[in-house]
Chain A
Amino acid sequence: MTVAAVTPAAAATDAREENPWARAWRRLKRRKGAMFGLVVVVLFVLVAILAPLISPYDPVATSFTQVRKPPSWAHWLGTDEVGRDVLARIIWGARASLSAGLVSVGIALGIGVPLGLLAGYAGGWIDAVLSRIVDAMLAIPFLILAIALAAFLGPSLTNAMIAIGVTATPVFIRLTRGQTLAAKVEDYVEAARAVGNPHWRIALRHVLPNIVPPLLVQASLAIAGAIIAEAALSFLGLGQQPPAPSWGSMLNSAQRFIAQAPWMAFWPGFAIFFAVLSFNLLGDGLRDALDPRHK
C-alpha cells in the first residue's frame, strides 16, 4: 500500500479557519463596552502624542489676569489658580498619566513574566522562594507600598513609575507562574521535550506564547491601576513635580479651591475617570474575547 492512497488532504482546504488573533479581534469587535474602551484609549494616546500640536496654550505659562476663570471661549475648560489653561494642562497631563501607566506596567511585565516563568517552570526551591517573596509583597496594600517606595526613591515622575512598576510586579509573577504550571503539563510541552528542546527553549517558545492572552488582559487592567496610582502619588506630591502638569497634581492644587473653582477639580477627575474606565472595559473585553471557552 502506498502512502498517497490514504490521503484525506482535501479536507484541510475546507476546514480553513482564521488564526487565533483574528478570531479574538472579531469577538472583541462585537463587544460595545470593549470597543468604547478601545476608542477612548486610542483617543487618549493620540492626545498625548500630539500634545504640542493640539494644546491651545503653554501648559506652564501663568497669567495673573486669568486666575481661576470659569470655562469660556478663550479657555474652554477654565484656568487654574495661577492662570494656566486647564485644557492645555489636561492635554499635557495625558502624557504623564499614560506614560506612567505604560512604563510602570512595562516594568512589571519585564520583571514579573521572566520570574514567573522561572518559578513555574523550574519549580522546587526556586519556586518556593519566589512565591514566598510574592506573598509577602502582596500582603502589603498596593498604594501603601507604592507610596513608601516613591518616598524612598525621592519625588519625581520617573521614580513614581519605578515604584508603581515594582509594586505591580508580584501580581504578574503569580499570574505567569500559575499559567506556566498549567501549560507545562500539556502534551505539546512534553512533545517539545521529546524532540530534544533544551529547557530554556521550551519555556520561551512553547510555554510563553501560550500564556500571552491572560497576561495581556492583566496588563490592560494593571494600566488602569497604574494611572490611578500615578494620580495618587502626584496628588501627594510624590509624582510629577510642579509646574509640569499631571492629572493627579492638578487635583491636588484644585482641592483648596473646590468651592470657588470646581472646574479645576472636575476636568482632571473626569480625565482620570475616563482613562481608567476605558482601560478596564478594554481589559474585560479582551478577557472575554481571548477566552477559548466563549463562543
Chain B
Amino acid sequence: MSGPLLEVQGLAKHFPVKQGAFGRLSGHVRAVDGVDFHLDAGETLAIVGESGCGKSTVGRLVLRLLEPTDGSVRFEGQDLLALSDSQMRAQRRRMQVIFQDPYASLNPRMTVGAMLSEPLMLHGLAASDAARRARVGELLELVGLRPEHARRYPHEFSGGQRQRLAIARALAVEPQLIVADEPVSALDVSIQAQVINLMRSLQARFGLAYVFISHDLAVVKHIADRIAVMYLGKIVETATTDELFRNPRHPYTRALLSAVPLPDPTVVRERALLEGDIPSAMNPPPGCRFHTRCRYARESCRIDVPVLVDDGAGHSTACPWWPEFPPAPLLAEGTGQDQDRLRLARLQAAFVTSQTEAT
C-alpha cells in the first residue's frame, strides 16, 4: 500500500458571520483552523473534543459536504478539492457518512427499499431490478435486519434499527472510508454497544476505514486505533488509543480523560477538571488556545502558538511544556496492562484501609 488512504493537511473552515439588515460582515467563526491528520486503509481514527470544537465540521469537510476555506484533502493520493461536481459525485462511492441522529438522517417519505436502492442506481451497481432487490435484502441482513423490512418506512423502526439502516445505506456503495459523526450519541447505552459491535464486525469484514467523531472517550476506546484530540478548531494531541489513555501529555487531553466516568466507585483518582466555557471560535485566545483554561499555563503560552510535534513514535502533542508536567495519574481505565495496574491499585487501597481499621 502506497501512502495513507486519507491525508488531510492544513484543513480550515471559517464561517462568515453577518450582522444587521444589510449582512455586514462582522467576523469569522474559525470552526476548523489548520488540521492535519492521516488515515490508513482499515484503520479507525477517532476525533474527540468538546461540543463546538469543530470535530463535526472536520467530518463534513473531509467528505466535501462543506467546502473548506483552506487546506487539502487527499483520498488515495487524489486531491478531492480539485474535483468537479460530477467527478466528486462519482468519488462519493468510495466514502460514506453516518450521522448522529438516526431520526433526522433518514428521509421520512422514502421506504427503506427506495433509500437503499438509490445509491445502487446512482452508481450503476445493480444490473437489473432483481439484482437490486437482492442487494437491498443482503444489505439489510448485513446490519441485522430482515429483507422484508425494505417495504417499510423509517418511522416504523426504533432508534437503534434506524442507525442500522443508516449504516446499511453507507455500505450500499461498498466504500473504503466511512465518516461516522457521533454515530451512537443519540442512542440508549444498551443499544450503543450493539451498534459499535456491528461497526467493528463490518470493519473486519470489509476492511473499512473509519473517521469516528465523538465526545465520548469511553466509546472511542472500544473502536479507535488512534485518537486525535481537538480543541477550538485545532488538534492538540494525537496518539494510538493505548498510548493516549496511558500517557496523556496535553493538559486538555488529561482533563478530558479525567472526566471519563469509571465503573468502579471505590477508585479514588486525582481529577484535573476544567473550569469555564470553551472560548468563542470567533475570537480565539492568542497564543495557545487552551491557555485560558490550562492549569499549567505560563506567560509565553499567551504569545507563542504551539505546533503539533511528533515524538518519533507517532505520539504528537501541541504543547512544548509537556515533559515538565508531573506524570499523569492513571486517569481512565485502559486496556490489558492498565487494567491490571488499576486492579492492583484497588487491591492496595483496600489493603491499606483494612489495616488502618485494624489498628
Seen from chain A, the residues whose Cβ lies within 8 Å of a Cβ on chain B are 1-4, 6-9, 11-12, 15-17, 19-20, 186-188, 190-198, 205-206, 209-210
Contact = CB atoms under 8 A, between A and B. Distances in A.
A80 to B, nearest CB: 50
Given A3-B143, A191-B97, A195-B92, A12 B202 contact: no
Contact of B109 (A20, A191, A198): A20
7 closest Cβ pairs, A-B complex: A196-B92, A7-B144, A187-B105, A187-B104, A209-B109, A195-B119, A188-B107
Interface string B77-114: 00000000010011011001101010011111110000
Given A8-B161, A210-B107, A210-B109, A194 B63 contact: yes
Contact of B104 (A188, A192, A195, A205): A188
A192 B92 CA distance: 11
Nearest to A197: B122
Given A196-B92, A197-B122, A190 B143 contact: no
B123 A191 contact: no
A15 to B, nearest CB: 6
A198 B89 contact: yes
Interface stretch (B152-160, B320-328, B330-338): B152-160
Nearest to B104: A187
A182 to B, nearest CB: 12
B99 A12 contact: no
A195 B173 contact: yes
Contacts of B250: none
A194 B144 contact: no
Interface in B140-194: 141-146, 149, 152-153, 155-158, 160-161, 166, 169, 172-173, 194
B280 interface: no
A194 B109 CA distance: 18
B118 interface: yes
A1 B157 CA distance: 24
A13 B158 CA distance: 11
Contacts of A15: 156-158
A2 B143 CA distance: 11
A9 B194 CA distance: 12
Contact of B99 (A2, A190, A206, A209): A190
A263 to B, nearest CB: 50
B105 A188 contact: yes
A206 B109 CA distance: 8
A196 B109 contact: no
B122 A193 contact: no
A16 B156 contact: yes
Given A187-B105, A188-B105, A195 B96 contact: yes
A188 B100 CA distance: 11
5 contacts: A1-B200, A186-B104, A191-B166, A196-B89, A197-B122
B358 interface: no
A12 B123 CA distance: 30
A187 B59 CA distance: 14
A197 B123 CA distance: 9
A186 B101 CA distance: 11
A191 B105 contact: yes
Contacts of A3: 141-144, 198, 201-202, 205
Contacts of A205: 110, 118
Contact of A9 (B86, B144, B153): B144
A3 B164 CA distance: 12
B9 interface: no
A218 B240 CA distance: 57
Contacts of A12: 145-146, 149, 152, 156-158, 161
Contacts of A194: 63, 65, 92, 96-97
Contacts of A187: 99, 101, 104-105
Contacts of A191: 97, 99, 105-107, 166, 169
Contacts of B90: 196
Given A12-B156, A187-B99, A190-B65, A195 B197 contact: no
A125 to B, nearest CB: 13
Contact of A196 (B122, B158, B166, B194): B122
Contacts of B97: 190-191, 194
B198 to A, nearest CB: 6
A157 B247 CA distance: 83
A196 B119 contact: yes
Given A20-B109, A195-B92, A6 B157 contact: no
Interface in B105-144: 105-110, 118-119, 122-123, 141-144
Contact of A4 (B110, B144, B152): B144
Contact of A17 (B142, B155, B205): B155
